[in-house]
Amino acid sequence: MTALSLAVGRPTIADRVFSRTIAMDIVLVAAGAALTAIAAQVQVPMWPVPITGQTLAVLLVGTALGAVRGGIAMALYAVLGIVGLPVFTGSSSGWGVIAGPTGGYIIGFIFSAILTGWLAQRTWDRKLLRAFAAFLAGSVVTFAFGLPWLAISLGNLGYPHDLNSVLMGGLYPFIVGGLIKAALGAGIITLAWFAVRRSDRRSTEAEHAE
C-alpha cells in the first residue's frame, strides 16, 4: 500500500533520503520554510530591494522537495511572515512587507519553487548544466513577479517607477549574484545526487558480496 504523502509525481532528492509519508512531508515543508527564513537574514542592505540569501534557499527547497511540497513550503514562509513572525529580511514581518517593494519577490518564491520542483521531478537536477538552467528559470520567475510589484510599490510611495528605475532597483544589482547562486545551487544538488547514487552502488555491492 502506498503511504499517504503530499509528494506527487516522480521522486526528488528528498524522497531518496527520507520516506514518503505525510509526517515527513510536514517536517520537510517546515524545514524548507525555516531555511528560507534563516537565509533571509543573510543580507546586503540595499533599497528598495536588498541582496539576500533567500533566492538560493528557495531554489534548493523547490528542487529538493518537488513542486507541491516546495510550493507549500514557500507559501508557509509567506504566511508566517504575514501573521507576524520575524521571518522576512531583517527579521521583519507583517502585511506591510508584502505590500511594499519586496512583496512581489516573496510571492514569486512560491511559483519559483513550484517550477524548479517540477523540473527536478523531470530529472533536470541530475546533471550540472540542466540543474543550472533550472535554477536560472526559477530565478526568472521570481523577478517576473517581483519587478511589476516593485514598479507599483515605488509609484505608490512617490518614487520614480519607470522601466529603467525599476530595473536599476530590482534587477541589475542581482544579475551577477543570481548567476552565482544558480551555479552554487546546481553544484549542491548534483553533488547530493552523486552521493545518493554512490551510496546505492555500495549497498548493491555489499549485497552481492554476502
pLDDT at position 188: 97
204 within some domain: no
Q: CATH no. for residue 61?
A: 1.10.1760.20
Number of domains, the chain: 1
7 within some domain: no
127 within some domain: yes
13 within some domain: no
Question: Domain range spanning residue 141?
Answer: 19-199
Judge contact between 100 and 92, C-beta under 8 A: no
pLDDT at position 199: 86
Q: Ramachandran region of residue 90, left (φ > 0), alpha (ψ -120 to 50) or beta? A: left
The three grid cell numbers given for residue 116, joined into one nine-digit string: 524548479
Could you give the CA distance from residue 183 to residue 166 in angstroms, rounded to a whole number?
Answer: 26
6 within some domain: no
Q: What is the pLDDT along the chain (210 residues), one digit of tens a residue?
A: 456 888 878 899 999 999 999 999 999 999 999 999 999 999 999 999 999 999 999 999 999 999 999 999 999 999 999 999 999 999 999 999 999 999 999 999 999 999 999 999 999 999 999 999 999 999 999 999 999 999 999 999 999 999 999 999 999 999 999 999 999 999 999 999 999 999 878 777 666 566
CA 7 → CA 2, 18, 23, 33, 109, distances in Å? Answer: 12, 12, 11, 16, 19
